[in-house]
Chain A
Amino acid sequence: MNITEQAEGANIILSISGRLDSTSSKGLEDVLLRAVQNKAGVVIDFEGLQYVSSAGLRVLLKSAKMAKSSGSKLVLASLAPQVEEVFEVSGFTAIFAIHPDVRSGLASL
């Protein structure tokens, strides 16, 4: 997994690529928890993400709870079909604001 961070004013875009599994989820947790505590809005760009397991879902859920308590907005963008299927069966499509691309995700903040 690879994470690139790009500041956009008070917001930040985190682009995640590769596999988000039990091995890599800790790396995302550190970056994402820091982002939702320090930024007004966070867009996670999943365009390069091929795979997410329950370990990755746990990090996203934890971050969403943290974002809510710290008053930050967390939105997701550009889910691949197989990633979206995992989000659907987990009920995550009802919890997260999911946008077709980063631009509309940023515009929603």
Chain B
Amino acid sequence: MVPTFSLRVPAEASHLNTVIEKVAAFLKAEDVAERHSHRICLSLDEVLSNIIEHGAPQSLKRRDGFMEVVVAVHEDRIVTTVVDDGTSFNPLLMRDPDVSSGLDDRDIGGLGIHLIRKLSSAVRYERADGVNRLTFENAIGS
């Protein structure tokens, strides 16, 4: 059986750190190397922060949505899936920031999704049944 962590919380900022701490503890218990755990927790931080900040339509006063995190530790890779019922949003369609430009031309935004792309070996997005589902994989081969 594949060791799996799963947690569903309200899409609110107060839950962000709890989720990340629990995922970090799970990965440590599964003997995942610190550098992989760091990449996964950072990517997760970026995805969840986006959902909390942008997931609700502007017109809604209350969010009332959820976000769900599933982390599965396979032999050669770790697969992390984040599901939320916020506004339809495919981060993979965002233009990547030009990370080679100098200080004057550097944009302040867009770095979060760039980090997820760079720190993962694969990223997928799908919208179905009214939810966003973002999956990123981290290879952990020797």
Question: Which positions in A face B, CB cutoff 8 Å?
Answer: 21-23, 51, 53-55, 57-58, 61-62, 64-65, 68, 81-82, 85-86, 89-91, 94-95
Interface residues of B (CB under 8 A from A): 13, 16-17, 34-35, 38, 41-42, 45-46, 49, 53, 99-104, 106, 108-109, 111-112, 114-115, 118-119
Q: Which 7 residue pairs across A and B have the least CB separation, nearest first?
A: A91-B99, A54-B112, A54-B111, A89-B118, A82-B38, A22-B49, A53-B45
Q: How far is the CA of A99 from the CA of B73 in the complex (A)?
A: 37
Binding site secondary structure of chain A: helix
B42 touches A53 (CB 8 A): yes
Contact A54 B46 (CB under 8 A): yes
- A53 near B106 (CB under 8 angstroms)? no
Give the nearest-CB partner of B114 in chain A. A90
Please tell me if the beta carbons of A95 and B103 are within 8 angstroms of each other in the complex.
Answer: yes
Known: A89-B118, A90-B99. A58 touches B49 (CB 8 A): no
